[in-house]
Amino acid sequence: MLTCFASTLFSGQPTFTLSEEESKHAVRVLRLPPGAPVTLVDGRGTVYAATIADANPKRCALLIQSQLFIAPRPYYTHVAVAPTKNLDRMEWLVEKAVEVGIERLTFLRCARSERRELKLERLEKIAISALKQSGQAYLPQLDELIDFEKFVPGLTPETTFIAHLEAGERTALSQVAGVGPGCCVLIGPEGDFSPAEIELALSRGIRPVTLGASRLRTETAALAAVFTAHIARE
């Protein structure tokens, strides 16, 4: 069954018109006729069962049959990561993190960052596609690129952790990620956080953690943090 994203659908609305891109996919590519079932997700917890009322390849109209609200997870996962120079690796991260389930993804501009600018439009489309493919009900918040120094002061230290590679005592994320109502994990660029950035985080009460013995790529570390946070809550 086709799953579509409905960013402007409201409760009680009997019909909905798909975007031109979604309409073309449904009518021209999949050749769905009137009466064919379609699932709509709004990214805010509501899933709608619908049928095609008008198979127009530019403005495919759907008739809403029923709706189901799915409660959010009682635990949030927030990862803040320095994007890599190769954007494909960030696209992979967004796709997989949405499939696993993440509430918020923030992009950091760090002292050793290779990428200093980032446009979210492409990443948002990938997130929506992953949402539809995986059957998730909630679209995560994607934050614009922000300087590390500006981002850290607004964090809650009790539920925030920094995964760095400098020497020193660190706790396994799996041991602390499931303690509070959620967690935020900071992941640095390929060259790691700078000593000054690590000191800033620690001075704010943010605790250092490890994701295991292996030295992971930035995007792999970020996804590992998402997996670990989920496993810690099971």
- Phi and psi dihedrals of 188, rounded to 5? -85, 180
**Superfamily of 76-233 according to CATH:** SPOUT methyltransferase, trefoil knot domain (3.40.1280.10)
Amino acid at 44: R
Q: Where are the domains of the chain?
A: 2-69, 76-233
- Phi and psi dihedrals of 228, rounded to 5? -65, -40
Q: Tell me if 51 sits within 8 A of 73, measured CB to CB.
A: no
Identify which of 95, 86, 2 has the alpha carbon closest to the alpha carbon of residue 48. 2
The pLDDT value recorded for residue 233 is: 83
**Superfamily of 2-69 according to CATH:** Hypothetical PUA domain-like; domain 1 (2.40.240.20)
Q: Tell me if 77 sits within 8 A of 103, measured CB to CB.
A: yes
Per-residue model confidence as pLDDT tens for the chain (234 residues): 899 998 776 666 789 999 999 999 999 999 999 999 999 999 999 999 999 999 999 999 999 999 999 999 989 999 999 999 999 999 999 999 999 999 999 999 999 999 989 999 999 999 999 999 999 999 999 999 999 999 999 999 999 999 998 888 899 999 998 888 899 999 999 999 999 999 999 999 999 999 988 889 999 999 999 999 999 887
